[in-house]
């Protein structure tokens, strides 16, 4: 009777030990099933946060869970390189590539990045490799964007451009500086948001700075186009005045009014007629100087 009880107790203890062992070291099939769930969560999260792009901040935890799980599975060699498709690493790489394509990981290696003092940088090892996190930049950017958005929302439509311009410029220059620092690899969430803000600012609110420049350009263009008209009008006035001058001269000296065809056809050139071209050319010179005086 007592022996049976001891045996039962022993069996129970054995079962318990087995169970706890299972719990501390989960089987590979369990790890694989969990990985599938985490991958599914990531896909759902990415789809839900795709437009506008907000995957970097909203799916960060899900992505972290998935990568951790994949590392755990790496001990289960029976799932890797067993066939040509090699599906598990393929699926994992596919999902990870979304992350790197959107520059969500925010890890940039190299000494140059370390000079980016305002952003969190950690010394990783003696190899002087630094790991920099764009999370701070994203937070700062989001704060600035929020400030601008609040200003736009609470300001009357016709005053938005003037009132919120300094906030817009601040946000824009902050983004530009980040873009330079990270060599164009700024977290895509920020890129998308900046693009939307710029579009809204210039197309939605029509606060584009080109407008006054365009007005000046139009004025200059109108002036240039009207130049020929001014020229022809002034030429016309000058010609009329010149003709009037001819009339006055004719009154003074009848010889000057000798018609050119008569002078050239006439075979008997008088001394008065020969002096005609010189006089008329002097007269022409006077008129031209008069014209130039009028023009300038």
Ligand X SMILES: *[C@@H]1O[C@H](CO)[C@@H](O)[C@H](O)[C@H]1NC(C)=O
Per CB under 6 A, residues contacting ligand X are 41, 61-62, 65, 71-72, 74-75, 146, 149-150, 153, 191-192, 195, 199
- What whole-number distance in Å separates Cα of residue 276 and Cα of residue 280? 6
Phi and psi at residue 59, to the nearest 5°: -115, 15
Comparing CB distances to ligand X, the nearer of 106 and 130 is 106
Strand partners, 130: 123
Do 151 and 143 touch, CB atoms closer than 8 A? no
Minimum distance from CB of 169 to ligand X (Å)?
A: 18
Beta strands, E only, 39-160: 121-123, 130-132
- Tokens 């790890």 belong to 31
Closest CA to 160 of 150, 174, 145, 172: 150
Q: Angle formed by the axes of helices 87-101 and 28-48, to 10°? A: 30
Contact 283, 252 (CB under 8 A): no
Q: In terms of CB distance, is 150 or 289 closer to ligand X? A: 150
- Residue 188 beta carbon to ligand X: minimum distance, rounded to whole angstroms: 8
CA distance 143 to 148: 9
Nearest-approach distance from CB 73 to ligand X, in angstroms: 8
Q: Would you give the DSSP letter of residue 117?
A: T
Nearer to ligand X, 75 or 93 (CB): 75
Nearer to ligand X, 34 or 245 (CB): 34
Shortest CB 193 distance to ligand X, Å: 10
CA distance 121 to 23: 37
User: By C-beta, is 37 or 286 nearer to ligand X?
Assistant: 37
Shortest distance in whole angstroms from residue 226 CB to ligand X: 39
Query: From the CB of 216, what's the least distance to ligand X, in Å?
Result: 28
Residue with Cβ nearer ligand X (79 or 114)? 79
- Rounded to 5 degrees, what are φ and ψ at 128? 60, 35
Closest contact distance (angstroms) between CB of 95 and ligand X is 14
User: Half-sphere exposure of 268 toward its Cβ, with a 13 Å CA cutoff?
Assistant: 0
Smaller CB separation from ligand X, 56 or 130: 56
């Amino acid at each position: 009777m007592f022996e049976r009880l001891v045996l039962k107790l022993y069996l129970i203890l054995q079962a318990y030990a087995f169970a706890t062992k299972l719990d501390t070291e989960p089987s590979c099939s369990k790890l694989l099933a969990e990985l599938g769930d985490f991958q599914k969560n990531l896909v759902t999260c990415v789809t839900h946060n795709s437009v506008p792009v907000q995957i970097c901040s909203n799916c960060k935890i899900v992505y972290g869970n998935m990568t951790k799980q994949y590392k755990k599975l790496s001990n289960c060699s029976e799932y890797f390189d067993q066939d040509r498709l090699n599906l598990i690493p393929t699926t994992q790489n596919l999902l990870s590539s979304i992350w790197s394509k959107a520059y969500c990981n925010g890890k940039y290696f190299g000494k140059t990045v370390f000079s980016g003092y305002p952003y969190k940088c950690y010394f990783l090892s003696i190899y002087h490799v630094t790991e920099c996190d764009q999370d701070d930049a994203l937070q700062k950017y989001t704060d600035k964007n929020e400030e601008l958005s609040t200003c736009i929302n609470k300001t009357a439509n016709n005053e938005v451009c003037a009132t919120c311009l300094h906030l817009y410029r601040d946000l824009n220059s902050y983004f530009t500086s980040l873009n330079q620092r990270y060599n164009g690899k700024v977290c895509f969430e920020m890129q998308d948001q900046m693009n939307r803000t710029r579009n809204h600012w210039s197309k939605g609110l029509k606060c584009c700075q080109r407008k006054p420049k365009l007005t000046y350009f139009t004025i200059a263009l109108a002036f240039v186009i009207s130049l020929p008209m001014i020229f022809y009008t002034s030429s016309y006035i000058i010609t009329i005045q010149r003709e009037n001058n001819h009339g006055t001269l004719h009154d003074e000296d009848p010889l000057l009014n000798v018609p050119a065809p008569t002078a050239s056809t006439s075979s008997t050139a008088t001394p008065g007629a020969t002096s005609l071209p010189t006089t008329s050319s002097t007269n022409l010179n006077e008129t031209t100087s008069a014209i130039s005086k009028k023009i300038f």
